[in-house]
Each structure stands twice: as C-alpha cells, then as structure tokens.
Amino acid sequence: MTSAKGLEGVVVASTAISHVFGEEGRLVYRGYAISELASKASYEEVCYLLWHGHLPNRAELDGLNATMRVRRELPEAALATLRALPKSAGPMDALRSVASVVGAALPIDGKPTYDQAVQITAIFPTIVAAFNRLRNGKEPLAPDATLGHAANYLYMLTGERPPENHVKSLDTYLVLLADHSMNASTFTARVIASTESDLASCVVGAVGALKGPLHGGAPELVMDMLDEIKSADNIHPWVDDALNSGKKLMGFGHRVYRTTDPRAEILREMARQASSAEFFALARGTEQYAIQELNRRKPERRLYTNVEFYSAAVLNSVGLPRDLFPSTFAVSRVAGWTAHVLEQLVGNRLIRPQSEYTGPEGLKFVPVEQR
C-alpha cells in the first residue's frame, strides 16, 4: 500500500449533492451551476435543493419556511450554557459547545432525519447571535418569525431590522457557501455518520473541522492582512516582503480549483457594490498583484483567489464582527453537512481507511527499574 498525504486524489465517497470541477472553475449543486443559484435562489430554497435533490415549488418552499421559522428558539439548557461561557470564548467554541447541548436537549438522537436537519439548520444562527450579544453585555433576542433566515440572523445580532441590501448580500453569501463537495468538515461529518452516530454529533465534529484556519478560519485572517497592508500604495512592498519571507497570503490558492474559484468571482462583484471605493481598491489591488507574483514565483501551483478573500469583504460590508466570519460560514454550511449525513446513510458502510505504519518493530519490554 502507498499513502496519499491529505488523501490527495483519493475518492472516498459517491455523492449527488455537489461537485467541484477544479480544472474548469465550476461548482455545481444538484446539477445547478452556482451562478444559476447565487442572487436568484434564497438560502431556504438551496437548503431544500440540497436535502431533496430538486428546487421546491411554492407550497414546498412555504412549508419549509414555516417550519424553519418555528424551530429557531433555543432550549433553556442551551441558553444556560451560553450564559455560563466566558465572554472571552471564541464564537466557534461557543457554537461547537452549544450545538452539542442542543443535540442533547431537544433531543436529536437516533438515526439522522430530514426533520432533524431542518431543526439544526434553523437554530444555528440563534446560537451565534445569542452568544455575540451575551459577550457584549446584551440579552439575546427572540427570533423574528416574520423574517427570512438571513434577515433574522442580522436582526438577532443587532436588534434592528436590517436594510435590504445587507439581507441580500448575506443571503447570497449563505447560498454560495452552503456546500462544497468533499471538503474537510463535510468529510468529518460523513465519517461520524458512517459510525451510525446521531446528527448532532456529526455537526459538532464538522464545526470542529471548520474552525481550523486552513478551512473556515481564513476570512477573518484576510481582513487582518488587509489591515496590515493599509493602503493601495503599500500593496507591492507588503506582498513582496511577505512572499520573500515565506509568509502565507490569506485568501489565495485552493486544494481543488486550478483557476479562479467561481464563488470568488460572484463575491468580488458583491464586494465592489457593497464596500467603500477605498476598501475595494485595496482588496482588488491586493488580489491582482498577489496573483501576478504568486504565478510568477510558483507557476506550477496555479494559485488564484479563493472564496475566503472576498467573503471577508462581503461579511464586513454587512456589519459582522470579523471573529464571527467562521461561525457565519458554519451557519451556511450546516445545510450541506446535514445533506451529506443523510446521503451517507443510504447504503452506509463504515469509513475506515488504512494507514501506513512507519514506526519501529520488535522492541522488547524492559521493567521500569531497568530503563
């Protein structure tokens, strides 16, 4: 046997949910190119598509909207856990912890179901928003059943009904990030599902995987990078110095795409419309020069902008604190995680790969007094 580091090139599952065509720069949800859905379909429509395999008709969408809107309330045990967390806790730590409590309190147990997928997806924004308010010395707000998924999330964060342009930007972001084939967090969820564990456990594991800066933590770091660059005049020297010193540029390169991430192209236009001219000039200028230098220095790598780069700009434009970027990613991706869990259970087989042993052999035990 030979090992494939990072499972590079290894096919671990068959899925009809989504696929990344890396060479072509295409992302498909259930047969729909992402450009066919972004800014056209609502997040709730995309949830239905991922769970059921087809876009909902009006009655089906109305039914899903009604169900999700009454499933947003946190159980008392979840609220008590949020209040017990230190205000210095990270938002992803809070989400991971409280998602586990939600699973125990509702309870979400046994074989994962569609109804449970709806429940968990509906409640994720409430967890994030309630934690954010508590850490800022404010009381959590009850969800507003008159608002859609994206609008209600912004309302629970701020206490004000959000402007329509912010709702549209966030809703499109949620659509773009809802699924992405066999990424690390989705694979984690499917591995847990393959053991026939419960849906809450699958989602909690996925949150843990998403937290890492090589997966869902990057948008926050993109903003930190742009803060360091400060101005368009400083782009060239900053990027040159970073690359010369071996520093990683955040928001560039992807494990699968060998051209521009199609989600990044959509988010770029959204960022152009939503951001100040000065900020967009900084972001766009950094993108252009960084790609030029990355491909000049590492032509074999074919490095381009990924989704994290302009996700940062879009989430910043709707007023989200940057440390909520990863948990907002989870608010979107939970639809994909739950869809993959349900798919994994159809003809399930325990995921149990082999490993290549590189340790010693033939050692003899020596009593502790003789060591």
The tokens describing 254, both together, are: 């992807």
**What string of DSSP letters covers 312-337?**
HHHHHHTT--GGGHHHHHHHHHHHHH
Residue from 16, 26, 28 nearest 256 by CA: 26
CA distance 7 to 172: 31
8 A C-beta contact, residue 185 and residue 209: yes
Question: Does residue 340 have an active-site annotation?
Answer: no
Contacts 24+ apart (CB under 8 A), 35-38: 35/262, 35/266, 37/175, 38/172, 38/175, 38/176, 38/263, 38/266
CB atoms within 10 A of CB 142: 12
| CB atoms inside a 10 Å sphere around CB 341 | 27
Q: How many CB atoms lie within 10 A of CB 241?
A: 11
Among 149, 166, 180, 254, the active-site one is: 254
Q: Classify residue 181 by its DSSP letter.
A: S
The answer to whether the CB of 177 falls within 8 A of the CB of 310 is no
What number of CA atoms fall less than 13 Å from residue 85's CA on the CB side? Answer: 29
| Token pair belonging to 252 | 């560039």
Q: Name the nearest CA neighbour of 335 among 90, 85, 41.
A: 41
191, 248 in Cβ contact below 8 A? no
Q: Which of 45, 265, 293, 308 is catalytic?
A: 308
In the chain, beta strands by DSSP E = 18-21, 26-29, 32-33
- Per DSSP, the residues of 42-71 read -HHHHHHHHHHSS---HHHHHHHHHHHHHS
Q: Which residues are catalytic?
A: 254, 308
